[in-house]
Structure 1
Amino acid sequence: MKTMSATEASRSFASLLDEAERGGTIVVTRGGRRIATIGPATAGNGVAVAELLGSAKLDEDFAADALAARQLEAPTWPAD
């Protein structure tokens, strides 16, 4: 894992992204404190999430509670 200052990351952002694209993880610091971690994005396309949601079995009480919550009146906020 590589560490660089925020200033250094700002000046060489393109190379930082190249490093992440190659699988590297970069910790960005400011004043010696870790403020961000930049690394490769996940390559998922949502299929696993869709399968999980499709296989979930909700009990009837939960479904009734969710329906009741949907039917509640939306709160009104005072005008500015």
Structure 2
Amino acid sequence: MRTITATEAARKFSDLLDAIASGERVVITRGKRPIAEMGPPRRRTGADLSAALEGIEPPDEEFEKSIAEARAFLVPQERDPWDGA
């Protein structure tokens, strides 16, 4: 994992984004103290949505029905469909 200063990150922001898009994680420091860690976003799946919906208390029966219908469309997946492979 590469470490750069906040000044360097600001000056080379486009290069920083290119590195992150390639999968690199970067720690940004200010005054020799780490203040941020940047990396590619975590890919979300139907399982993430299902887990998020699991903890929601429905405000009414219609909402509960809508959540149940949405969950019915979620299919367990063995691979990430957004992976492109």
2:11 paired residue number: 11
2:47 paired residue number: 48
Provide the aligned length of Structure 1 versus Structure 2. 59
2:2 paired residue number: 2
Unaligned runs of 5+ in 1: 58-62, 68-80
2:20 corresponds to which letter in structure 1? A
Quote the RMSD (CA, aligned, Å): 2.5
TM-score w.r.t. the length of structure 1 is 0.61
Give CA deviations for 1:39-73 in whole Å, capped at 9, x if unaligned: 0111214x11233356x49xxxxx7xx89xxxxxx
Unaligned runs of 5+ in 2: 61-85
Give the secondary structure class of the aligned counterpart of 1:51: helix
1:26 paired residue number: 26
State the 4+ residue runs in structure 1 displaced beyond 2 angstroms.
Answer: 49-54
> Structure 1 residues 53, 28: CA separation in 2 closer, same or farther (over 3 Å shift)?
closer
> Larger radius of gyration, structure 1 or 2?
1
TM-score w.r.t. the length of structure 2 is 0.58
